Amino acid sequence: MAIRAMDLKASAIPWATWRPSTPYSIGLEEEVMLLDPQTWSLAPRADRLLASLSDDLAEHCWAETHAAAVELTTGPHATAGGAVAELDRLRARLADQARGLGLAVAVAGMHPGDACGDGEVTPGGRYELIHQTMRGLARREPTFALHVHVGVPDAESAIRLLNRLRVHAPVLLALSASSPLWRGRDTGLASNRTIMFQAFPRTGLPRHFDSYGDWVRTVDLLLRSGAIPEPTFLWWDVRPQPRLGTVEVRVMDAQPRSEATAALAALVQALARLELEEGFAVPKAMHAQEVLAENRFLAARDGPTAELIDPVRARRVPFPDLLADLVSAAMPHALALGAVDELTSAFSLVASPEASRQARLAERCGVPQLVADLAARFAPAANRR
């Protein structure tokens, strides 16, 4: 008798086997734009850059869907500070080696300037498949995100963490918003990347899952039906990664300054420990799918000036108040993780919003100067050399 896909147990599905990792260890992935320093437009030359990298850097630098983008990845670290210190070293090496090819590199949620023709798709199996399945969507302007992986020892803990981090995803998005411009114009959105990227299918906040088996059966149906070729074609804001033993938080814009990356990484790490050790998010918030979706939009629109909906109090609350409550609850966990300084610096992202800074600089000096500024902030020491 044939076994239906929905009858399968998670333990019977090889791709879903959970590979335990050190609890609360942290790793970073940062999507980086390649630039022509003469025009400050995107430069679709990832294949040439990747082929020229030194062996040690090549282990941490990968192709992305678009030929004007690459991804930097750190190893796992016990602390957010350790992960960002490695990222700083990788940024400096990448800036140096890109300069040797006549390229510059920078990070923000999107390139703020005019589109330079159709986005070239990186050649290769995975990226050509994305192009085939996404068609014209794959050629839209590239977007650039920060992904934070948090180590989780077992599958059921991972799905509990996914359900709870969904509540905090709008906060992380608002703090990270760094893409106010599109094709040289101020969109009025703090994170235009979020709005652009959600044109892809299988993006946004996943639903609440009853168990790890519930998640596995949901994904396995998509795989067995041929709708997607592998689980990583689910581009949700938060997703489990069984082969790495992590929960990956993907909702955030990439950050021009590594200090901002450190603050966001520390917040993700401390929230993970808070949720798994104490369970801070209340059920009413975890199951309020429409509220979470609206908060996600408000966060993308307004960044850290947003007022987000509190489903318990049934009203909108100023973002600084929400962040203060969240940081207060997470601070004992940041202390245990050695991330107090980085977590405290999250308040600076509210005091000086990145999206507002970019919009002001573009209005005052023009988009090319803004892009030059982004490149200068990518690896300050390397750029001074």
E strands, 140-187, are 145-151, 181-182, 185-186
pLDDT score recorded for residue 138: 47
Over the stretch 334-352, which tens digit does the pLDDT of each residue have?
Answer: 999 999 999 999 999 999 9
CATH code where residue 141 lies: 3.30.590.20
Q: Average pLDDT for residues 316-330, to the nearest whole number?
A: 98
pLDDT score recorded for residue 2: 37
Domain assignment present for residue 3? The answer is no
Q: Average pLDDT for residues 222-239, to the nearest whole number?
A: 92
Domain assignment present for residue 2? The answer is no
pLDDT band at 145 (very low <50, low <70, confident <90, very high): very high
Mean pLDDT rounded to a whole number for the chain? 91
pLDDT band at 129 (very low <50, low <70, confident <90, very high): low
Residue 233 has pLDDT above 60, yes or no: yes
Over the stretch 42-94, which tens digit does the pLDDT of each residue have?
Answer: 999 999 999 999 999 999 999 988 899 999 999 999 999 999 999 999 999 99
Domain assignment present for residue 7? The answer is no
Alpha-helical (H) ranges within 225-353 are 258-277, 283-286, 289-302, 319-337, 340-344, 346-351
pLDDT score recorded for residue 202: 85
Comparing CA positions, the residue from 144, 245, 157, 150 lying closest to residue 209 is 157
**Whether 182 contacts 292, CB under 8 Å:** no
Q: What percent of the chain shows pLDDT beyond 70?
A: 89
Residue 6 has pLDDT above 50, yes or no: no
Domain assignment present for residue 52? The answer is yes
pLDDT score recorded for residue 358: 98
pLDDT score recorded for residue 375: 98
- What phi and psi, each to the nearest 5 degrees, are found at residue 346? -60, -30
Residue 7 has pLDDT above 70, yes or no: no
Domain assignment present for residue 5? The answer is no
Q: Average pLDDT for residues 309-316, to the nearest whole number?
A: 95
Domain assignment present for residue 1? The answer is no
Query: Could you count the other beta carbons within 10 Å of the beta carbon of residue 305?
Result: 16
Residue 300 has pLDDT above 80, yes or no: yes
Comparing CA positions, the residue from 346, 143, 339, 356 lying closest to residue 264 is 346
Element spanning 318, H or E: strand 315-318
Residue 379 has pLDDT above 60, yes or no: yes
pLDDT band at 208 (very low <50, low <70, confident <90, very high): very high
pLDDT score recorded for residue 201: 86
Q: Tell me how far apart the alpha carbons of residues 28 and 52 are, in angstroms, rounded to a whole number.
A: 23
Residue 5 has pLDDT above 70, yes or no: no
Q: Average pLDDT for residues 188-205, to the nearest whole number?
A: 93
- Three-state DSSP at 164 gives helix
Comparing 379 with 3, the larger pLDDT belongs to 379
Q: Count structural domains, the chain.
A: 1
Domain assignment present for residue 285? The answer is yes
pLDDT score recorded for residue 200: 83
What is the residue range of 123's domain? 12-384
Q: Average pLDDT for residues 146-152, to the nearest whole number?
A: 98
Domain assignment present for residue 6? The answer is no
